[in-house]
């Protein structure tokens, strides 16, 4: 069955949704995106994604072409049209069709491009990796230095996912100046002596929506939280390691560059945090 997707105010069969070859998103990666998870037909932390979208657009000097209510209506309509129970909604906003290729921005008032589409993921919350844990490799962080902006420039993370796969691992953790920044598409954490440790917010990492929620939930569950950078060696010697993202929720990491983390099994704090996160997210989904 063909998906119905959203393009600039229209709901179209996916084969009919076409964007110009001069779109700034296509020729310059001049666009930002969000991915919102859906469980039981409801959107998780939609307000958080909208806040970050606005921030990303502001940082790039782009307008926000739609209101939060417009985005919400479009997300819900796409879920309904495509019969999505569990899955994702992808949203992308670009600086639009400049009519030609030029480094300079198109003139003020050039319509931006807005695309949304769904991805069905039946059983999204029942990921078997929650039981097995992830194995990750490390790699130097060669991305640009505004990782706090959620742009569509995903080539380096994409190359690293392929490298991880080729080496029999699930993902890669990025390292800069000796410290872990984040995963290719997730925020990274370790647990040592009961304390949850994750890198503090800066331009070095994406400000994960799931990260914000998790730190709040961890504190509420009386788990001590420390926001500071950690090294790869510290991670390998930790009691537990884990990642968060809007689509993976919370997943344990059991191996880093071939070194077992803890006893090589998903740890109790990662497992508990996943349960708490999923329970709370379902409760507050809209
Ligand atoms: N870091 C990077 C580089 C990411 O791509 C993602 C996924 N969006 C995250 C962290 C996690 O962010 P979130 O919890 O908002 O999905």
Domain range for 169 is: 129-284
What's the pLDDT tens digit per position in 5-62?
Answer: 999 999 999 999 999 999 999 999 999 999 999 999 999 999 999 999 999 999 999 9
**243 and 223: one domain?**
yes
**273 and 137: one domain?**
yes
What's the pLDDT tens digit per position in 180-200?
Answer: 999 999 999 999 999 999 999
Could you give phi then psi for residue 244, rounded to 5 degrees?
-135, 145
Ligand 1 pocket member 113 (CB < 6 A): no
Q: Which atom of ligand 1 is nearest to the CA of 211?
A: 14
Q: What is the mean pLDDT of residues 135-148?
A: 98
How many Å apart are CA 93 and CA 236, to the nearest integer? 38
**135 and 276: one domain?**
yes
**145 and 278: one domain?**
yes
Number of folded domains that form the chain: 2
**86 and 147: one domain?**
no
18 is catalytic: no
**250 and 142: one domain?**
yes
Out of 150, 161, 192, 283, the active site residue is 150
Distance linking the first and last C-alpha atoms of the chain: 26
Ligand 1 pocket member 186 (CB < 6 A): yes
| Percent of the residues in the chain that have a pLDDT greater than 70, as a whole number | 100
Please report which confidence band the pLDDT of residue 172 belongs to, taking 50, 70 and 90 as the band edges: very high
- Residue 201, judged by CB atoms within 10 A of its CB (0-12, 13-18, 19+), counts as middle
How many Å apart are CA 240 and CA 263, to the nearest integer? 9
Is 269 in a helix, a strand, or coil?
helix
* Ligand 1 centre distance from Cα of residue 107 (Å): 31
How many Å apart are CA 153 and CA 216, to the nearest integer? 29
**In the predicted model, is pLDDT for residue 204 greater than 90?**
yes
Please report which confidence band the pLDDT of residue 1 belongs to, taking 50, 70 and 90 as the band edges: low
Residue 235: per-residue pLDDT: 98
Q: What is the mean pLDDT of residues 118-135?
A: 97
**112 and 144: one domain?**
no
Q: Which of 69, 90, 125 corresponds to the end of one domain?
A: 125
What's the pLDDT tens digit per position in 52-88?
Answer: 999 999 999 999 999 999 999 999 999 999 999 999 9
Ligand 1 pocket member 209 (CB < 6 A): yes
Q: Which atom of ligand 1 is nearest to the CA of 147?
A: 3
Is the full-model pTM beyond 0.95?
Answer: yes
């Amino acid at each position: 069955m063909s998906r119905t997707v959203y393009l600039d105010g229209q709901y179209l069969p996916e084969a009919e949704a076409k964007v110009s070859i001069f779109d700034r998103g296509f020729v310059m990666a001049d666009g930002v995106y969000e991915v919102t998870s859906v469980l039981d037909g409801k959107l998780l932390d939609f307000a958080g994604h909208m806040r970050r979208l606005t921030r990303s657009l502001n940082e790039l000097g782009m307008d926000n072409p739609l209101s939060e209510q417009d985005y919400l209506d479009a997300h819900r309509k796409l879920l309904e049209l495509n019969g999505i129970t569990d899955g994702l909604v992808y949203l992308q906003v670009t600086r639009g069709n400049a009519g030609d290729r030029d480094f300079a921005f198109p003139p003020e008032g050039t319509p931006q491009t807005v695309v949304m589409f769904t991805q069905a993921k039946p059983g999204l919350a029942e990921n078997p990796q929650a039981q097995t844990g992830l194995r990750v490799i490390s790699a130097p962080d060669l991305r640009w230095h505004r990782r706090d902006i959620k742009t569509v420039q995903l080539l380096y993370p994409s190359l690293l996912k392929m490298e991880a796969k080729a080496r029999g691992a699930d993902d890669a953790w990025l390292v800069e100046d000796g410290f872990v920044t984040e995963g290719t598409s997730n925020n990274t954490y370790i647990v040592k002596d009961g304390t949850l440790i994750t890198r503090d917010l800066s331009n070095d990492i994406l400000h994960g929506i799931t990260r914000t929620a998790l730190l709040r939930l961890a504190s509420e569950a009386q788990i001590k939280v420390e926001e500071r950078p950690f090294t790869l060696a510290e991670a390998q010697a930790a009691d537990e390691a884990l990642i968060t993202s809007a689509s993976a929720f919370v997943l344990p990491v059991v191996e880093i560059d071939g070194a077992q983390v803890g006893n090589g099994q998903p740890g109790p704090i990662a497992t508990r945090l996943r349960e708490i996160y999923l329970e709370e997210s379902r409760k507050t989904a809209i």
